[in-house]
Amino acid sequence: EGDLVNEDDLEVVLVGGATRMPCISKLIQERVGKRPKSGLVNPEEAVAVGAGLTAAALKGAIPREDIILLDENPSAEDIALLGKKLESIVDAIGNEGGV
């Protein structure tokens, strides 16, 4: 599995309103070693779209195989690439700084 992903090609995209705070981007860059990309998605809209897709998949409105649910727990933040959960951000950066 590790051979399928070139870490140089990974991008960090943050979603959620709190990710607009400069200290969040700085903390992620320090801990993960990548500067989060900005402008790729609307942080608030991405959360709403993700919640809608998750609800639709859980209720059977769209086939579960058409969407990959990385985490159904709204309190867990995840890093994902191509629909594959790589690691929990909490595990990656620890619990310092209130994250």
**3-state DSSP: the chain helix, strand, coil percent, rounded to 5?**
50, 10, 40
The pTM (predicted TM-score) of the whole model is 0.52
> Considering only 40-44, 48-52, 53-57, 63-67, which range has the smallest mean pLDDT?
63-67
> Is 75's pLDDT higher than 60?
no
Considering only residues 52 and 85, tell me which one the structure prediction assigns the higher pLDDT: 52
Shortest CA distance to 28 belongs to which of 42, 7, 14? Answer: 14
pLDDT at 93: 47
DSSP H helices in the chain: 22-32, 43-59, 89-93
Burial of 28 (0-12, 13-18, 19+ CB in 10 A): buried
> Is 91's pLDDT higher than 80?
no
| 5 — pLDDT class (breaks 50, 70, 90) | low
The CA R_g of the chain, rounded to the nearest whole Å, is 14
Taking phi over 0 as left and psi of -120 to 50 as alpha, with beta for the rest, 98 belongs to left
> Is 47's pLDDT higher than 70?
yes
